[in-house]
């Protein structure tokens, strides 16, 4: 069996930033004169900022000039950055550090594979940068999830075959990206929504050390 690598999504997997993305998009929607629900926000998980704004404007049936589009992209991000300004390690989701520690102890290479252009400063705020052998984020990719690019770059950086990588994801687009990279996909969240994943867990508290050990001892070729 080849070396195994683990790839973590950030938003909704390591930290619950999905709520701050939601608040920032909702503020913009309200300013533009329409509502934006939590259910609609599901469509935004794992999706690039640009694509999110396109979907938001579709929802509100708002036509934008290029200049308006660019302004709203900036405005959303400024609001989002305000929401996360005071973020600290207390916002790391339960048992994420335990799983990271377990993998480190086993000398398993770990990468971040996130669509966010704010990934690095968030990892710094919550003090987790040192766990990651590679950080691949929205600044490093040309194609957004469900395209597998972000995870393939991460596998390459770790020096691990794609088929030997295991991905933690909370977004449908992310599970699809992992699957099309022929990686093992682990859905974190609602198993009905993430039903394309190879494994499903509500959160990391459900992921036991023995499950991780079993993953490390398997050959992951699909
Ligand atoms: C993903 C989030 O991780 O990053 C999406 O799930 C978000 O909701 C995307 O739109 C891009 O993030 P950012 O920080 O670059 O606007
Ligand atoms: Mg996510």
Q: Tens of pLDDT along 129-172? A: 999 999 999 999 999 999 999 999 999 999 999 999 999 999 99
Burial, 45: exposed, middle or buried (Cβ in 10 Å; 0-12, 13-18, 19+)? buried
Q: What is the mean pLDDT of residues 110-134?
A: 97
Q: Which residues surround ligand 2, an ion (CB under 5 A)?
A: 9, 11-12, 170-171
If you average pLDDT over every residue of the chain, what do you get? 95
Does residue 52 register a pLDDT over 50? yes
Q: What is the mean pLDDT of residues 77-96?
A: 97
Closest ligand 1 atom to the C-alpha of 21?
A: 8
Structure confidence at residue 2 (pLDDT): 65
Q: What is the pLDDT of residues 181-215, one digit of tens each?
A: 999 999 999 999 999 999 999 999 999 999 999 99
Q: What is the mean pLDDT of residues 3-8?
A: 96
Q: What is the mean pLDDT of residues 30-55?
A: 94
The span from the first CA to the last CA of the chain, in angstroms, equals 13
| Dihedral, CA of residue 79, residue 167, residue 205 and residue 84, to nearest 10 | -10
C-alpha closest to that of 205 among 95, 125, 116: 95
Structure confidence at residue 42 (pLDDT): 86
- For residue 79, indicate whether it is catalytic: no
Ligand number nearest CA of 24 is: 1
Q: Could you give the C-alpha distances from 81 to 21, 41, 77, in angstroms and in order?
A: 9, 18, 6
Does residue 1 register a pLDDT over 70? no
Cα 14 to ligand 1 centre (Å): 13
Structure confidence at residue 147 (pLDDT): 96
11 lines ligand 1 (CB under 6 A): yes
Cα 48 to ligand 1 centre (Å): 5
Structure confidence at residue 119 (pLDDT): 97
Under a CB-based contact definition with an 8 Å cutoff, are residues 134 and 154 in contact? yes
Does residue 222 register a pLDDT over 60? no
- For residue 58, indicate whether it is catalytic: no
Does residue 94 register a pLDDT over 50? yes
200 lines ligand 1 (CB under 6 A): no
26 lines ligand 1 (CB under 6 A): no
Q: Report the percent of the chain where pLDDT is more than 90.
A: 94
Does residue 221 register a pLDDT over 50? no
Does residue 220 register a pLDDT over 60? no
Secondary structure class of 126 (helix, strand, coil): coil
């Amino acid at each position: 069996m080849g070396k195994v690598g683990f790839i973590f999504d950030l938003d909704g997997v390591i930290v619950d930033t999905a709520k701050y993305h939601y608040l920032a998009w909702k503020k913009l929607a309200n300013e533009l004169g329409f509502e934006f629900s939590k259910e609609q926000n599901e469509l935004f998980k794992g999706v690039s900022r640009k694509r999110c704004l396109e979907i938001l404007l579709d929802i509100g049936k708002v036509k934008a000039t290029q200049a308006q589009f660019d302004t709203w992209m900036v405005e959303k991000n400024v609001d989002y950055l305000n929401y996360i300004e005071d973020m600290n390690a207390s916002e790391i989701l339960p048992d994420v550090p335990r799983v990271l520690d377990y993998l480190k102890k086993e000398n398993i290479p770990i990468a971040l594979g996130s669509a966010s252009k704010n990934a690095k400063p968030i990892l710094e705020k919550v003090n987790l940068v040192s766990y990651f052998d590679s950080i691949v984020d929205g600044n490093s990719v040309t194609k957004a999830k469900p395209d597998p690019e972000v995870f393939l770059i991460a596998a390459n950086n770790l020096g691990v075959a794609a088929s030997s990588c295991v991905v933690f994801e909370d977004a449908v687009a992310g599970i699809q990206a992992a699957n099309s990279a022929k990686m093992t996909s682990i859905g974190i969240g609602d198993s009905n929504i993430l039903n394309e994943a190879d494994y499903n867990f509500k959160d990391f508290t459900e992921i036991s050390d023995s499950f991780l050990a079993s993953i490390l001892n398997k050959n992951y070729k699909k």
